[in-house]
Copies of this chain bind each other. A is one copy, B any other.
Amino acid sequence: MRIAPASGECGAAACSSVPDTVLDVRTDNQPAERPDGVRRRATIHDVARLAGVSRQTVSRAVNDKGEIDPGTKERVLEAARLLDYRPSRFARGLVQKGAVTAGLVIPDLRNPFFPEVAAGVLEAAEARGWQVVVWDSRIDEAREREALDVLSHQADAVMGYFKDPDDVLTRHLGGVPLVLLERGPQQTGFAAVGIDAGAGVEQGMNHLFRAGHRRIGMLDGVHGPGSRRQAFLDQARRLGLAVDEDWVVTCPEHSVAGGEAAMERLLARRPEVTAVFGFNDLIAIGAMRTARRRGRSVPDGLAVIGFDGLSLGELVEPALTTLHIDKRQLGRLAVEQVARLRAGEEPLRGADAWVTPELVLRGSA
């Protein structure tokens, strides 16, 4: 199977058996199709041989460079098609610098919060011409580490949510820059972007307080230390509420079902509660559902306030009052942090690396 130029047009370079002998300088040159029928992927060399040109000419044709005869180009492309040739991204990357791949590790793609963050990351990455390899760790620390092990080999930087402490992360990182999402500023030596939980909780609690609530509970998520739970307790104290750890129920599953179950427990423990603060919107919605099932109307029988600002909160009844977070911005910030790290600049620290929640009043509180 060989492609000849149109008959009669036999230029010196393309003609006779010269290319087959001259161009083939390899020692062990396996044919593209081996006897056993297993196909080695075609290389530029195979295409060159079939088309009767040099590798360089193939490169010119495939990459649409100028300085090539249209006829030759057609012939080369036909040969490439025949062999199902595709350039190796590795070989290309080796010689053309600049392709940047970032890793993104997300705990749970089914929590609407994270796709929004991811959307921000993808958007910002696209603007920079980067690609993003996404991992869903499905809230499993082992999978988080596995993600790191792989991405540290295949990505130029990693962003994501991780529960492991710094030293463990470092061990799985192999020197690849890491930007943590969501952890507070004091808890890590890595660059990070996060949410100003304190400011959010304060706004939410003040709102409830002004509405007359004094017996406020919290459905906390599972989280690093120093997070929303502490902010809640601090603000309760500042407001002079008789509220302590006993008013906080931990909700291991950050979902509506998790919120429903946690609310059951809180109601059992503190039936006098008049308002609850949810770790996130899903949990808060779960709380609303349990409250109503228990014969408490929302917001009159129980006020509920969420944290996240999912659009989902507008659809439930009553609509969820929440601390809205700009999730896309969070993702964009993470990409900016990565860019800084790569440029050897200092990452943003403190408030510049946070997103501040904003209270959105809807029906539930």
Q: Which residues of A contact B (CB under 8 A)?
A: 39, 80-81, 84-94, 99, 101, 109-110, 112, 114-116, 118-119, 122-123, 126, 131-136, 138, 150, 153-155, 174-176, 256, 285, 289, 311-312, 315-317, 344
For the complex, what is the distance from the CA of A85 to the CA of B90, rounded to whole Å?
19
Give the chain B neighbours of A91 by CB distance below 8 A: 90, 94
Give the chain B neighbours of A316 by CB distance below 8 A: 315-317
Known: A39-B344, A90-B90, A112-B115. 20 other contacts (CB 8 A): A81-B175, A84-B175, A86-B175, A86-B176, A87-B153, A89-B155, A92-B153, A109-B116, A110-B116, A110-B119, A118-B136, A122-B134, A123-B136, A126-B135, A126-B136, A133-B133, A134-B134, A312-B312, A312-B315, A315-B315
The 8 closest A-B pairs by CB, nearest first: A90-B93, A90-B94, A115-B115, A109-B119, A134-B134, A109-B115, A122-B136, A317-B317
A39-B344, A91-B94 known; A109 vs B101 contact (CB < 8 Å): no
Give the chain B neighbours of A153 by CB distance below 8 A: 87, 89, 92
A292 to chain B, nearest CB (A): 10
Give the chain B neighbours of A155 by CB distance below 8 A: 89
A311 to chain B, nearest CB (A): 8
Name A102's closest neighbour in chain B (CB-CB).
B133
For the complex, what is the distance from the CA of A75 to the CA of B93, rounded to whole Å?
30
Which of A39, A112, A131, A150 has the most chain B CB atoms inside 10 A of its CB?
A131
A27 to chain B, nearest CB (A): 17
A126 to chain B, nearest CB (A): 7
Name A313's closest neighbour in chain B (CB-CB).
B315
A84 to chain B, nearest CB (A): 6
For the complex, what is the distance from the CA of A174 to the CA of B81, rounded to whole Å?
9
Which of A90, A99, A153 has the most chain B CB atoms inside 10 A of its CB?
A90
For the complex, what is the distance from the CA of A132 to the CA of B147, rounded to whole Å?
12
Name A133's closest neighbour in chain B (CB-CB).
B131
Name A153's closest neighbour in chain B (CB-CB).
B89
Give the chain B neighbours of A109 by CB distance below 8 A: 115-116, 118-119, 122
A151 to chain B, nearest CB (A): 8
Give the chain B neighbours of A112 by CB distance below 8 A: 112, 115
Asked if B118 and A175 make an inter-chain contact with CB atoms under 8 angstroms apart, the answer reads no
A200 to chain B, nearest CB (A): 22
Q: List 26 A-B contacts (CB under 8 A).
A: A39-B344, A80-B175, A84-B175, A86-B175, A87-B153, A89-B153, A90-B90, A90-B93, A99-B154, A101-B133, A109-B118, A110-B115, A110-B119, A112-B115, A114-B115, A115-B115, A118-B134, A122-B134, A123-B138, A132-B133, A132-B134, A133-B134, A289-B315, A315-B315, A315-B316, A316-B317
Give the chain B neighbours of A116 by CB distance below 8 A: 109-110
Give the chain B neighbours of A122 by CB distance below 8 A: 109, 134-136
Name A94's closest neighbour in chain B (CB-CB).
B90
Asked if B154 and A89 make an inter-chain contact with CB atoms under 8 angstroms apart, the answer reads yes
Give the chain B neighbours of A90 by CB distance below 8 A: 89-94
Asked if A150 and B135 make an inter-chain contact with CB atoms under 8 angstroms apart, the answer reads no
Give the chain B neighbours of A94 by CB distance below 8 A: 88, 90-91, 94
